[in-house]
Amino acid sequence: MKFLCVECDRQMQFEERQLPGDGTLAAAFRCPACGRVVALLTNPMETQLVASLGVKIGGTTLPPQPMETVRGMVVTGREDAFDEGRERGAGSGPIWSMEAQERLARVPNFVRGMVKRIYLDYAKDRGIAEITPAVMDTARTELGLEGM
Amino acid sequence: MPLNIRTYHELTEADRSGLGDQIMTQRRRVADRLATVRRVVAVLSGKGGVGKSFVTAGLARALARSGRAAGVLDADFNGPTIPPLLSLPVARCTLHEDGIEPLVSAEGVRCFSMAFLVEDGRPLAFRGPDTESFVWRGALEAATLREFLADVAWGALDELLVDLPPGVQRFQELTELLPAPPAVLAVTIPTPESRDAVRRALRAAIELKAAPLGVVDNMVGGPFAGSAADELAAEFGIPVLARVPFHPTDDVFAGIARKLGSSR
């Protein structure tokens, strides 16, 4: 997927990804010549189709998690389906603020381990020492973690 | 005056999304995971109720008892039945850095099933728009199959049996995900109705370059009359690997295991 600024005849560059709400996925692209920004907006069905393929518009920056699509999309998952104790990096890396821990605790157990891992990888990748709700919000929108 | 719009490939800067590359990375992950699996065998019939899961589990146990490393991927996500047929209780799945450990039966059969993940008594349900779920549900089930193949730490296996649901859609998805078409074990009951459904499924498999190993005649000696297995064997030039009665003994499946061993 590429975007062409027809006026400048230049390929536009990916700028950022956002989840502005109501199931919309937004991917913004900027023209390096004129600076114009356009945003691709998908409707909820299109957002779902992209998620169903296990791909991300704008590319991926973090390693895939085991069963990422299943864990992220199944809503009738067992609370005790996964033994999270052996997930990599447990107990190391960035710390979690109390508010972030409370928010994480509200994530269904079926997907909590993976969500925690993704936020940890995101924070480590960017040198963030403490994971706060604000960091979680930014990660969620940057990484396109709809529903997490 | 039409706008001057160039093609995708004429724009030479990187495609940051790289959706095609992301898909190829997923495929490579499947191939890498299955590099230590000698053969993938799809167990199919094209129709429900002929005992695919029963035959799959019996065969897997027989393979394990004969010393071969066997695994079962339960690809019937909406009606998973393999775990109880392997006497496998539902237990927590252990996560490692790059995969999930399969559960292992007393005989040593490695298994992964949606039954381990979904709450008892509830259907498999996905998050998504409330309406027209038929548009995206198929893609999500295909992604689930991909993750069961790629993200379960199957390890070194002689045979990975894939227990398919009725129909041929899951088989088509499996064939597209694998580096090479799987071998196929067809299961039928004696009736003409079963013969017709299995014929369609076998024809679809052959069109996708899959190699049929043979047909298992299941539920023989009971109320179902007909000669479906013999007719399919003659039509496709494949052997009838076993005739499985309603209450089979272990040696019936041991016989299939022996024949599979010699069909490499």
Residues of chain B with pLDDT > 70: what percent? Answer: 99
Q: What pLDDT is attached to residue B26?
A: 92
Rounded to the nearest angstrom, the minimum Cα separation between B242 and chain A is: 36
Residues of chain A with pLDDT > 90: what percent? Answer: 29
The pLDDT of residue A84 is above 80:
no
Q: CA nearest B224: which of B195, B203, B197?
A: B195
Rounded to the nearest angstrom, the minimum Cα separation between A35 and chain B is: 17
The pLDDT of residue A91 is above 80:
no
The pLDDT of residue A38 is above 70:
yes
Write the DSSP symbol of residue A20.
Answer: E
> Which of A53-57, B83-87, B180-184, B202-206 is the least confident region?
A53-57
Q: How far is CA B224 from the centre of its chain?
A: 26
Rounded to the nearest angstrom, the minimum Cα separation between B115 and chain A is: 9
Domains of chain A: 1-59 (2.20.25), 61-148 (no CATH)
So what's the ipTM on this one?
A: 0.88
Q: What pLDDT is attached to residue B170?
A: 96
Mean model confidence pLDDT for chain A = 85
Kindly determine whether residue B117 and residue A70, on different chains, have CB atoms separated by under 8 Å.
yes
Tokens at A126, concatenated? 């960017």
Comparing CB atoms, the residue among A11, A45, A82 nearest residue B135 is: A45
pLDDT tier for residue B14 given thresholds of 50, 70 and 90: confident
Distance CA A30, CA A41 (A): 15
Comparing CB atoms, the residue among B95, B119, B143 nearest residue A69 is: B143
Kindly determine whether residue A76 and residue B123, on different chains, have CB atoms separated by under 8 Å.
yes
Work out the average pLDDT over A33-61.
Answer: 87
* A22 touches A146 (CB < 8 A): no
| B168-201 burial code (b ≥16 CB/10 A, e <16) | bebbebbbebbeebbbbbbbbbbbeebbebbbeb
Question: Residue A106: what are its φ and ψ, rounded to 5°?
Answer: -85, -10
- Report the predicted TM-score, pTM, of the whole model to 2 decimal places: 0.87
All residues of chain A having their beta carbon less than 8 Å from the beta carbon of residue B11 are 2, 4, 11
The pLDDT of residue A87 is above 80:
no
* A and B: number of Cβ contacts within 8 A: 140
Kindly determine whether residue B99 and residue A68, on different chains, have CB atoms separated by under 8 Å.
no
Domains of chain B: 19-261 (3.40.50.300)
Q: Is A104 on the interface with B (CB under 8 A)?
A: no
Tokens at A4, concatenated? 């062409």
Distance CA A95, CA B210 (A): 51
Comparing CB atoms, the residue among B4, B95, B125 nearest residue A86 is: B95
| Residue range B85-113, pLDDT digits in tens | 999 998 889 988 779 999 999 999 999 99
Mean model confidence pLDDT for chain B = 94
Q: How far is CA B239 from the centre of its chain?
A: 21
Rounded to the nearest angstrom, the minimum Cα separation between A83 and chain B is: 5
The pLDDT of residue A147 is above 80:
no
All residues of chain A having their beta carbon less than 8 Å from the beta carbon of residue B96 are 66, 86, 88
Kindly determine whether residue B147 and residue A68, on different chains, have CB atoms separated by under 8 Å.
yes
Q: What pLDDT is attached to residue A131?
A: 92
Q: What pLDDT is attached to residue B204?
A: 96
Comparing CB atoms, the residue among B26, B118, B128 nearest residue A48 is: B128
Work out the average pLDDT over B164-183.
Answer: 96
pLDDT tier for residue A53 given thresholds of 50, 70 and 90: confident
Kindly determine whether residue A44 and residue B129, on different chains, have CB atoms separated by under 8 Å.
yes
Q: CA-nearest residue of chain A to B90?
A: A81
CA angle B217, B223, B228 (to 5 degrees): 30
Work out the average pLDDT over A98-126.
Answer: 87
* Most confident of the ranges B1-10, B95-104, B232-241: B232-241
Q: What pLDDT is attached to residue A48?
A: 86
> Which of B127-136, B183-192, B227-236 is the least confident region?
B127-136
Contacts of residues B135-141 at CB distance under 8 Å and 24 or more positions apart, as own/partner, are: B135/A45, B135/A48, B135/A49, B136/A45, B136/A48, B136/A49, B136/A52, B138/B169, B139/A49, B139/A52, B139/A53, B140/A52, B140/A69, B140/A73, B141/B77, B141/B170, B141/B173
Q: Is B197 helix (H, G, I), strand (E, B) or coil?
A: helix
Kindly determine whether residue A52 and residue B136, on different chains, have CB atoms separated by under 8 Å.
yes
Tokens at B8, concatenated? 């995708």
Q: Is A119 on the interface with B (CB under 8 A)?
A: no
All residues of chain A having their beta carbon less than 8 Å from the beta carbon of residue B15 are 1-2
pLDDT tier for residue A92 given thresholds of 50, 70 and 90: low
Work out the average pLDDT over A81-94.
Answer: 67
The pLDDT of residue A85 is above 60:
no
Residues of chain B with pLDDT > 90: what percent? Answer: 81
Work out the average pLDDT over A75-98.
Answer: 76
* A66 touches B151 (CB < 8 A): yes
Q: CA-nearest residue of chain A to B126?
A: A74
The pLDDT of residue A88 is above 60:
no
Q: How far is CA B244 from the centre of its chain?
A: 21
The pLDDT of residue A89 is above 60:
no
Kindly determine whether residue B119 and residue A4, on different chains, have CB atoms separated by under 8 Å.
no
Kindly determine whether residue B151 and residue A80, on different chains, have CB atoms separated by under 8 Å.
no
Q: What CA–CA distances, in Å, run from A85 to A91, A117, B92, B96, B175?
A: 10, 12, 11, 10, 35
Q: What pLDDT is attached to residue B98?
A: 79
The partner residues of A37 in beta bridges, in order of sequence, read: A30
The pLDDT of residue B190 is above 90:
yes
Work out the average pLDDT over A68-83.
Answer: 90
